[in-house]
Structure 1
Amino acid sequence: MDRAGGLRERKKEETRRAVHAAAVRLTAELGYEQVTVEAIAEAANVSRRTFSNYFSCKEEALLHGEHVYMRSLTQAVLDRPGDEGAWTALRAAARGVYAHWGRPTDRAGWARAKLARKHPALLARLLANHAELARDLERALDGRRLPEGVRPAVLVAVFLACLRVSLETWTGEEAARDLAEIAEEVLDEAEAPFRP
């Protein structure tokens, strides 16, 4: 039973990734406004109904990579040793996640990041996703040692602002360097007030 369930989940994730990849590819080729849900479904070789089983709209399909990134960042914080301070756990989680994301060879990631900041509908959804990520990270920090006088919401807001600046720098440099390298620089600049 578990094996069948695992296979089913893998197939679902493969379909989700295929639809996401088709959405990103078509948007890069045709432009955001020209891409329809039907075109994405056709390019991913799935039905319109199957598309709707995975995503509610084309914006959600386009930003699926962002959603995966958010889940992995939150999980990476939860997986850190419980005796680490909050800022240390956040930095280590980002370092681990960025080891797999944001390399100069990750042109798809760079294209997604650039695209998401160009279109109001995508930007609105991205901002909503970031608000959700902030709440999730605050919960993930529950029970961790915080810098004196700093609330979890403030710490998370500074951390996410650093990641945003890193991403904007990375896209501005057209992914010439690792996103991880840029994030380390930006987090170093912000870290001093949050050292335990």
Structure 2
Amino acid sequence: MGLRERKKAATREALVRAAVQLVLARGVEGVTVEAIADEAGVSPRTFHNYFPGKEEAIVAPLVDGVRELIDAVRARPADEPVWESLRHAVVELLQSVGHLEETLPLLHVIKDEPALLAWHMRGFAELQEELCAAVAERTGTDAKRDLYPRLMAGAVGLAIRVVLDLWTEGKTDTDITELFEDAFARLRAGLPTP
């Protein structure tokens, strides 16, 4: 990236970090666009160059994580089986994320706030379409016409949601990476009865 792109990325990251810190400290109602912009050291107008509203900035870390996952899938070896590529991409993403302890309370806030949950699900649906396209590229199928890439993207999306739900609700003491490994192994095996 050139200097301009690096500055834009740094500004966006500052806005996202400010949004997350403020929502965790004040709750959704206590956060405004102006407060996020002020915390990040920019104007509200600059904020709107990056996000239409506070909700998008708050859920951005999760949406960005899914984008990183898609990029990681595309970077895997072309001859690797799709399930293996997806599994490796998820594990690599989890190992590179240094702020899982911040992600847990953010997920709780999102689940408790309908407006945030709606934005989160909307972003997730858009990114699931991108994952469908990535699977289609790897398998030589058509993302618009063929069932396989859509089923694969849907299954992966569901696995991600189920694992995150179990993890955030504290219904398991299993490590999140192990949960993902287990979910992908079960899906790959055709979901045999335990």
* TM-score higher than 0.5: yes
The 5-angstrom pairing of residues 101-180 of structure 1 reads: 101=97, 106-145=100-139, 151-173=148-170, 178-180=175-177
Greater RCO, 1 or 2 (C-alpha within 8 Å, sep 6+): 1
Alpha-carbon distance between aligned partners in 2 of 1:13 and 1:179, rounded to the nearest angstrom: 28
Q: Which residue of 2 aligns with 1:191?
A: 188
Report the Cα distance in structure 1 between the residues aligned to 2:40 and 2:109, rounded to whole angstroms: 20
**Separation in structure 1 between the aligned mates of residue 31 and residue 112 of structure 2, nearest angstrom:** 15
Question: Any unmatched runs of 5+ in structure 2?
Answer: 141-145
Aligned-pair distance for 1:86?
A: 2.1
Q: 1:88-131 CA distances to partner (integer Å, 9 max, x unpaired)?
A: 22222112212123x6x622111222222111111111111111
Q: How many residues align?
A: 186
How far apart are the structure 2 equivalents of 1:70 and 1:123?
A: 16
Task: Give me the whole-angstrom Cα distance separating, in 2, the residues matched to 1:43 and 1:144.
Answer: 42
Instruction: Give 1:176 deviation, angstroms.
Output: 6.5
Structure 1, gaps ≥5 residues long:
none
Residue type matched to 2:148 in 1?
A: R
Secondary structure class of the residue paired with 1:138: helix
Distance 1:152 1:6, change over 3 A: same
Provide TM-score, normalisation by structure 1. Answer: 0.85
Give runs of aligned pairs for residues 81-120 of structure 1, distance below 5 A: 81-101=77-97, 106-120=100-114
For the Cα contact (< 8 Å) 2:68–2:93, is it kept in 1? yes
RMSD, aligned CA = 2.4
1:27 equivalent among 16, 23, 29: 23
Residues 132 and 150 of structure 2 are in contact (CA less than 8 Å); yes or no, is this contact kept in structure 1? yes
TM-score normalised to structure 2 length? 0.86
Q: Using the TM superposition, give the Cα deviation of residue 188 of structure 1 relative to its aligned residue in structure 2, in angstroms.
A: 2.2
Offset of residue 186 of structure 1:
2.1
**Which of 4, 8, 19 is the aligned partner of 2:4?**
8
Q: Which of 32, 39, 42 lines up with 2:35 in the alignment?
A: 39
